[in-house]
């Protein structure tokens, strides 16, 4: 399973990368705004900064919703750095654009996915990654993890190469469940990844080991 961190915060990206477990980064306009990154050139420069921190795929999202606009923005983003993945919304014009990018060797991440039907369309268009939003599905009263399992099964049935990138991760347990279901990637806040370190028996065990060492060595 690949670990992506879902942030535009450079310090968090460096921290995750320094752990040696980071495979990629996902961003969106909301995350950019949260970090105070405004203005087209500043946003583009920030993507390059992220790419220079770690050697892995970095999803950069288009704003346009029409084919020509998505195509134009996507080409600009793809030319920024070899690790840029163009993030495209799950709409008709978006699927059309994903096909164009796929045919031209440009990686894509189909985002805002909430159903298995949408997942099939994205895979047939050649999306590199598919981002189903677990937490947001849960918010509607449906089961986001069940959706992940359904998509993984369908992709395996037909040999689709699109990787299932579980998004809208709310906690560390979501990561474990996605691993059990066979998701290829999870993208989540750094806090959810760091939460995997925590277990009371690890803490108590380490405390006991250190205490015993201190006693034995005066």
Quote the distance between the C-alpha of residue 200 and its chain's center.
29
Is 87 a residue of the active site?
A: yes
Burial of 67 (0-12, 13-18, 19+ CB in 10 A): middle
Run of H or E residues at 48: helix 40-53
Per DSSP bridges, beta strands 163-166 and 2-6 are: unpaired
Q: What is the DSSP letter of 195?
A: G
* Cα four-point dihedral sign 90, 66, 49, 31: negative
Residue among 2, 71, 82, 87 flagged as catalytic: 87
Q: In angstroms, rounded to a whole number, what is the distance separating the alpha carbons of residues 33 and 37?
A: 5
By CB atoms closer than 10 A (0-12, 13-18, 19+), residue 209 is exposed
**Is-contact 177 152, C-beta < 8 A?**
no
**Known catalytic residues?**
87
């Amino acid at each position: 399973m690949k670990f992506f961190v879902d942030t535009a915060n450079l310090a968090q990206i460096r921290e995750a990368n320094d752990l040696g477990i980071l495979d990629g980064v996902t961003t969106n306009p909301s995350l950019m705004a949260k970090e105070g990154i405004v203005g087209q050139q500043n946003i583009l420069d920030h993507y390059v900064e992220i790419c220079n921190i770690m050697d892995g795929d970095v999803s950069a999202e288009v704003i346009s919703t029409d084919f020509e606009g998505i195509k134009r923005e996507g080409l600009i983003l793809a030319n920024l750095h070899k690790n840029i993945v163009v993030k495209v919304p799950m709409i008709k014009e978006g699927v059309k654009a994903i096909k164009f990018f796929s045919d031209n060797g440009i990686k894509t991440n189909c985002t805002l996915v909430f159903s298995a039907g949408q997942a099939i369309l994205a895979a047939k268009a050649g999306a590199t990654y598919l981002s189903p939003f677990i937490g947001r599905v849960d918010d509607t009263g449906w089961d986001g993890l069940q959706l992940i399992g359904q998509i993984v099964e369908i992709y395996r049935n037909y040999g689709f190469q699109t990787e299932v990138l579980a998004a809208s991760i709310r906690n560390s347990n979501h990561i474990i469940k996605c691993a059990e279901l066979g998701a290829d990637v999870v993208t989540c806040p750094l806090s959810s990844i760091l939460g995997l370190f925590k277990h009371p028996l690890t803490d108590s065990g380490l405390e006991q080991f250190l205490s015993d060492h201190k006693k034995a060595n005066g």
